[in-house]
Structure 1
Amino acid sequence: MKCSIPGCGTFGRRRIPKRALESVKLTYPTAWITNDSRVCDTHQQRYKNSLLEGIRFATIKNSARMVHQYTGLPNGEVFLALLKFLRSYRTQTSLTYAVTGNHHSTLLYEDQLLITLKKLRVNLPDDILAVDFQVSRSQITSIWRSWLDIMVNKFKTLVGDELPSLAKCQKAMPACFASHPNTRIVIDCTEVPIEAPSNIESSAKCYSHYKSTHTAKLLIGIAPSGVITYVSRCYPGGTTDKEIVVDSAILQKVTVGDNVMADKGFLIHDILPEGVTLNIPAGMWGKTQFTPEEVAASRKVSIARIHVERSIGYLKRYKILGNKVVAKMLPYLSDIAFVCAQLVNLNPVFLREVDNDFFKMTRAT
């Protein structure tokens, strides 16, 4: 059997290493490569060596599946657009890192960004990333912290402090919000498991009876289209929803005529600004049974409110927020949550109805 690599007519008697098979497929996407394909001794050694080089952006840029798996972005084009956007930020921090053992070879910006996104998406330890990219562990830590700071600053200048206007929300409003056309934001809290603090007082504040573990809690707000428009800083897991709403000042961002949608645990009627309404499912406070009208109204609210749960689900696909956060990462957790939310927004709209309406509106204009 001849070597399966195009252009090589040498006799192939060795199988491609299983771990290198994906790299071969990405390098030669048109080649007929299977688990039984044979390669010559030269290519066998080449792909064994490629395992030591790690997965760089140049290796995966043509595979949308691999880019999404390691970064959460839809494809390599979006990755490069993000890189171009971030590189316009002037930072005082040096972003030049020499590859270990070769001071004439520097780590490309695209690979530095890949390290950062792999840290967020896959939550690989710094030691593993250091081996993968042939740099020291301290350099890996410096890289993802520097790029995290850059992304926070750039994304904040992009999204601003204000919520999208009600008029913008209504342009991309799904049919499930037909009963609540003035909805400007849908809010909900989510919790991230954290390592138990060593301080007894901090440990008590961070313990969540809902999750039965120590957590950090943050408030998420989305537009009716599903786009994440607000992410609060992280609070101790024992903080109530109402306390977070008050401290985050999210209600100061809505105006007269706006509607806020939330879960039934958000008992914030008494702190709503004048002219702002609240939609929550009906509760059983002082009742033994819901009326038919309450059941119908609650069902409409729940059908619309479920989209904030879906957005939070996409956010938790970044494993750094889905797995237990160690103590040394806690100072960066608020920034990490904010950046991950903006990365989620770089993906296609997950509501097909909104996606179709957007393209119809684009063609019309």
Structure 2
Amino acid sequence: MVNKNCMYWVCKSDRRYPERLAEKDVYFIPFPKPLRNRVKCERWIRACGRHDLNVEKVTKYSSICSLHFVRGNGPTEEHPDPIPAGACEAEKENFMLQNRKRRAPIDRPSLKCRKVKKPGKSANQRTVDLYHSYCIVQVPDFEAEIELGPGDEGKVPDDIDTTIFTATPLPVETTDSGSQTYHPTYSDSSTKVNLKTMRRQLFVLDVEKKPKVYTGMTLDVLKLVFSHVELKASRMKYWYWSSRVDDSFDDTEYDVSGKKRGALRELKLWEEYLMSLVRLRKGLDTDVLADMLCISSATVSRIFTKWIVFLRKELDFLIKWPTKEQIKENMPKSFKYFPKTRVVIDCTEFFFQKPSLPSTQRITWSSYKHNNTFKLLVGITPSGSFCFLSKLWSGAVSDRRITQVSGFLEMLEFGDEVMADRGFTISDLLALKGATLAIPPFANGRQLSSRAVTRTRRIANARIHVERAIGDIKSFQLLQGTLPLTLKPILDDIIFVCGAFV
């Protein structure tokens, strides 16, 4: 007789050692033959939980004892496979219930409805009164009394249309014990809510509740700027790129009938103003704003373009070149070693989409950023406010070239000092204006002296303000990431408005 032992995990059942058998009626079940039923054989191997056991090692003498099946009685039609090795009690319960059929649903008491002929009711007398245990529904020419079961208060049968009813609050009744009871009723309502107006009002309320989050400014500053431009903003006209102006164009604000020219505004001025600033700060797509305000994305684009160009014109006074007296009055302590400093300059770059023309790709390629960029020259006063913002230049243009042709040199006076980084080799250009350049000293392959190290540290402590100012401009999420080429016509105005609001 061939001796058999259990192949299951750490089981020690063996015919050669009867004392190891947990029960006397334990018997061994041979493995399914791999050639006849390979799928079932693999299931048994996985259930054994042994890494050294595979299909090739299964022989006609390989077996599993009956203890590892459901209820310890060996395989059955309901549970033909052994219980997986290492399963906890909950997993064993789930394994036992795998093939169990779903229990049939219990019978639920149905609603009883009795219709009573009741003439004299008009169609506008449709009401539903809900009580604790009964629901009386009044419909034209019929009255239905419905008996509800326990816990079914407030339910109406499916065959009764209740979509025409709208809830209206009832007065509160106070009992002798002091408790209050509400009796809900339903009646007709002819009021139609304008969803567009509601969504726009919610948008305005959200922005006014958290103005710093949506626009980066306080509500008082928003209202102050709006009050400054409100009168002129009311006279603005939508600009359509496809429209042209000919010689017969009558540039008057009102037509013969006295109505204002141009397309009708779908949003109020305050809503247009907030929408433009929200897109500027949060960088929201036109489709997102269109869904929020129930307008088309083309309308959002026109409104945004109109307001950006308008704010660029109206807020031009916020970025002006200060006088020497104003600089001296507001000179911070970090510039005590550079008392003649008039302006601190630096260049920054903005990524934009790759142009289709190879020539445009070449002139906009930045070897420093390794991308197609626009370059901007920024100038701030020692106190940290913007005093100069150049137009955008292609990324291949050097800092020296931008400084030379951007109009920056025309702003300088005799005796001024300009602080910049090492990349601005413009000392000869400044000398023609009688100005000087303050930049960190060059090492030229040698170790810097202690005096040069001290000067480098002092310039770095003063130049950090221009880096922070550039960071404030780039905090507007519309300027982050890769800019679309569709914004190129108004990108100069966008950057100026961002600098004005910083």
Shared fold per TM-score greater than 0.5: yes
1:132 corresponds to which residue? 292
Which of 408, 433, 440 lines up with 1:281 in the alignment? 440
Unaligned 5+ segments in structure 2 are 1-183, 185-194, 240-262
The letter for the 1-side match of 2:216 is G
Partner residue, 1:357: none
Residue number in structure 1 paired with 2:453: 295
Give 1:107's aligned residue. Answer: 267
Is the Cα contact below 8 Å between 2:352 and 2:485 reproduced in 1? yes
Q: How does 1:1-365 map to 2 (within 5 A)?
A: 53=199, 55-61=202-208, 63=209, 66-73=210-217, 75-89=218-232, 93-94=236-237, 106-156=266-316, 158-159=317-318, 163-272=321-430, 273-284=432-443, 286-344=444-502
Q: Secondary structure at the match of 1:56?
A: helix
Cα–Cα, structure 1 residues 254 and 300, in superposed 2: closer, same or farther, change >3 Å?
same
* CA–CA distance in structure 1, aligned partners of residues 321 and 278 of structure 2: 29
Deviation at 1:337, TM superposition (A): 0.7
What letter matches 2:211 in structure 1? V
Larger radius of gyration: 2
Distance 2:435 2:264 in 1: 61
Post-superposition Cα deviations, 1:6-48, rounded to whole Å, max 9, x if no partner, equal: xxxxxxxxxxxxxxxxxxxxxxxxxxxxxxxxxxx9xxxxxxx
1:235 and 1:269 mapped to 2: Cα distance?
Answer: 22
Match of 2:46 in 1: none
Task: Tell me the distance in 1 between the aligned counterparts of 2:449 and 2:342.
Answer: 28
**Distance of 2:234 and 2:462 partners within structure 1:** 42
Deviation at 1:57, TM superposition (A): 2.6
User: How far is the alpha carbon of 1:263 from its aligned partner?
Assistant: 0.7
Task: State the SS of the aligned residue for 1:128.
Answer: helix
Q: Describe the SS at the equivalent of 2:232.
A: coil
Structure 1 runs not aligned, ≥5 long: 1-40, 42-48, 97-102, 345-365
Are residues 292 and 85 of structure 1, via their aligned partners in 2, closer, same or farther at CA, if it must alter by over 3 Å?
A: same
Q: CA offset at residue 212 of structure 1?
A: 1.2
Paired residues in the alignment total 284
Rounded Cα–Cα distance in structure 1 between residues aligned with 2:415 and 2:349: 31
Partner of 1:355: none
CA deviation after TM superposition for structure 1 residue 283, in Å: 1.7
Relative to 1, partners in 2 of residues 1:104 and 1:151: Cα closer, same or farther, differing over 3 Å? closer
Indicate conservation of the 8 Å contact 2:345/2:378, yes or no.
yes
Match of 1:45 in 2: none
Change (3 A) 1:300 1:145: same
Structure with higher RCO (Cα < 8 A, 6+ apart)? 1
Q: CA deviation at 1:159?
A: 3.9
The answer to whether the 8 A contact 1:166-1:182 is kept is no
Q: CA deviation at 1:287?
A: 3.6
Q: Structure 1's 316 and 208: CA in aligned 2 closer, same or farther, altered over 3 A?
A: same
Deviations 1:48-79 (A, max 9, x none): x8998165233432x3xx21121121x11110
Distance 1:331 1:50 in 2: 31
2: CA distance, partners of 1:141 / 1:105: 14
Give the aligned residue type for 1:60: V
Contact 2:196 / 2:293 at 8 angstroms: preserved in 1?
A: no
Alpha-carbon deviation of 1:93?
Answer: 3.5
The change in CA–CA distance for 1:52 and 1:197 in structure 2 (over 3 A counts) is farther
Q: CA separation in 2, counterparts of 1:297 and 1:202?
A: 41
Contact 1:193/1:325, CA 8 A, preserved across alignment: yes
Secondary structure of 1:89's counterpart equals: helix
Quote how far apart the aligned CAs of 1:105 are: 9.1
Change (3 A) 1:104 1:223: closer
Q: In structure 2, do the counterparts of structure 1 residues 192 and 51 end up closer, same or farther at CA, with 3 Å as the change threshold?
A: farther
Which whole-Å CA distance do the structure 1 matches of 2:205 and 2:394 have between them?
Answer: 41
Kindly indicate whether the alpha-carbon contact (under 8 Å) linking 2:364 and 2:373 is maintained by their aligned counterparts in 1.
Answer: yes
Q: CA deviation at 1:150?
A: 0.7
Residue type of the alignment partner of 2:419 = M
Q: CA deviation at 1:90?
A: 6.1
1 CA distance for matches of 2:326 and 2:482? 37
Question: Structure 2: how far apart are the matches of 1:184 and 1:88?
Answer: 36
Q: Which has the higher helix share?
A: 1
Deviations 1:221-255 (A, max 9, x none): 11111111111110111111001101102011010
**Structure 2 Cα separation of the partners of residues 105 and 143 of structure 1:** 10
Matched with 1:350 is: none
TM-score (norm 2): 0.54
- Cα distance, 1:323 vs structure 2: 1.9
Alpha carbons of 1:211 and 1:67: their partners in 2 closer, same or farther (altered >3 Å)?
A: same
Matches of 1:180 and 1:87, distance apart in 2 = 43
**Residues 375, 393 of structure 2: 8 Å contact kept:** yes
Aligned to 2:315, what secondary structure does the other structure show? helix
List 4+ stretches of structure 1 deviating above 6 A. 49-52
Mean Cα deviation higher: 187-196 or 273-282: 273-282
